[in-house]
């Protein structure tokens, strides 16, 4: 899998008996994103789809509204793939460094330094999540979550990455991305859709807990339904309710729990 995995020898101990074996590990490397030549943020990520990651992150931060706001995104050199320069089109103003997030965003952290619902609500959004014109069947959501699990190739070989996917109303996965950081996986998915000028997906799936920053990213991109396989935080539920996102958690096999805006989900009896 190229830069995504590496092989290392390790000692495994089972019932007091030790054996040496070769393990497959998920690669983790830093990515510095610059706006022009000025540092914007540093994130630890799985290499690959870095331009998508930058687009998704800048959309979530309210820096850009569409892919047209980016004039060019390029690595600093052909050999250094860990520093990405993003040049905005004329008329799009980059935020001052003092107003940006913390410049170090590590694997479990997404919107450090701007972790309030009001901050996200005040950012310019191209559109809010749509009202419940067509409702999702819970079976569609759980089936899509199972398909995401099957499509996580790096997770299958390492157990060390998160996955995210956008899905259509019938549960068909539109794009799948994996990353060492769950927020990066979401940025890559939403950045891909932004670069394709695709409409907001009806369903965003994440193979992790439901945290505030994931809800914020979904809301900024106009996602209607966010489904996570693990538990939500209290702030995630509060943010989803206020920002208009239907939040589903504990999405596993034949069950899920609805925490906000249940009108988008088909209830018992249809």
Q: Which residues are annotated as a binding site?
A: 250-255
Task: Kindly report the length of the chain.
Answer: 270
Residues involved in catalysis: 109
What is the Cα–Cα distance from 136 to 151, expressed in whole angstroms?
A: 22
Yes or no: say if 208 and 162 are a contact pair by the CB < 8 Å rule. Answer: yes
What is the Cα–Cα distance from 194 to 53, expressed in whole angstroms?
A: 11
Half-sphere exposure of 148 toward its Cβ, with a 13 Å CA cutoff? Answer: 36
Yes or no: say if 252 and 149 are a contact pair by the CB < 8 Å rule. Answer: no
CA end-to-end span of the chain? 43
What is the Cα–Cα distance from 164 to 185, expressed in whole angstroms?
A: 6
Judge residue 8's burial from the number of C-beta atoms within 10 Å of its C-beta, 0-12 exposed, 13-18 middle, 19 or more buried.
exposed
Torsion of CA 233, 215, 145, 225, to 10 degrees: 120
């Amino acid at each position: 899998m190229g830069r995504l995995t590496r092989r290392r020898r390790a000692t495994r101990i089972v019932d007091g008996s030790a054996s040496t074996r070769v393990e497959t590990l998920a690669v983790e490397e830093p990515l510095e994103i610059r706006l022009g030549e000025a540092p914007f943020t540093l994130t630890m990520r799985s290499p690959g789809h870095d331009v998508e990651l930058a687009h998704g992150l800048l959309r979530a931060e309210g820096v850009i509204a569409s892919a047209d706001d980016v004039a060019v995104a390029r690595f600093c050199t052909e050999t250094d793939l860990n520093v990405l320069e993003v040049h905005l089109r004329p008329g799009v103003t980059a935020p001052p460094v003092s107003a940006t997030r913390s410049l170090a965003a590590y694997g479990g952290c997404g919107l450090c330094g701007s972790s309030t619902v009001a901050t996200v609500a005040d950012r310019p959004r191209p559109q809010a999540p749509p009202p419940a014109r067509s409702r999702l069947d819970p079976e569609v959501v759980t089936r899509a979550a199972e398909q995401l699990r099957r499509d996580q190739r790096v997770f299958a070989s390492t157990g060390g990455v998160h996955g995210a996917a956008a899905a259509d109303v019938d549960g068909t996965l539109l794009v799948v991305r994996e990353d060492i950081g769950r927020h990066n996986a979401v940025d890559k998915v939403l950045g891909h859709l932004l670069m394709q000028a695709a409409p907001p997906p009806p369903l965003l799936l994440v193979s992790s807990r439901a945290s505030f920053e994931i809800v914020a990213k979904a809301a900024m991109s106009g996602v209607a339904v966010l489904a996570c396989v693990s538990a939500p935080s209290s702030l995630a539920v509060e943010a989803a309710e206020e920002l208009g996102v239907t939040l589903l958690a504990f999405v596993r096999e034949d069950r899920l729990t609805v925490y906000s805006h249940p009108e988008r989900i088909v209830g018992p009896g249809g």
